[in-house]
Amino acid sequence: MSVELNHTIVHARDNRESAEFLAHILGLEVGTEWGPFIPLATSNGVTLDFATIPAESIVMQHYAFLVSDEDFEAAFARIRQAAITFYADPHLKQPGEINHHHGGRGLYFMDPAGHGMEIITRPYGDHEQTPSEQ
């Protein structure tokens, strides 16, 4: 049996704002509103369905996106152009830096609802980590 993630719901204070924010950073198109959802489809067929809920009900989640080196460069340029604070680490202790884990590049940033977003050019586990990466 083949199992694939098809979609997930992403809670937001404003579903359109959050969908458009991430679409802009990743260079994707926002889909057509469907009921309470604003969809954003990735190239592997997974859809993030943004749903507006009360801000006090939002629990921070983490979303990591595997991108090509070219897409990383484009997204990184859009992040810098928009003056979005980015970090080399998920604990947000290394602002203004990127990481080079697994032989690639990665960075973290926050979306308008407070979710942790990550872009990476190599999947985790591609090769052995050095002690500084652990």
* CA Rg value for the chain: 15
Q: Which of 17, 11, 101, 28 is nearest to 63 (CA)?
A: 11
Q: How many residues does the chain have?
A: 134
Determine the pLDDT at residue 131. Answer: 44
Q: How far apart, in whole angstroms, are the C-alpha atoms of residue 34 and residue 109?
A: 27
Tokens 């897409």 belong to residue: 71
Determine the pLDDT at residue 128. Answer: 52
Regarding predicted confidence, which is higher, 84 or 130? 84
Q: How far apart, in whole angstroms, are the C-alpha atoms of residue 40 and residue 45?
A: 10
Report the predicted TM-score, pTM, of the whole model to 2 decimal places.
0.90
Determine the pLDDT at residue 127. Answer: 59
Q: Which uninterrupted H or E stretch holds 71?
A: helix 69-81
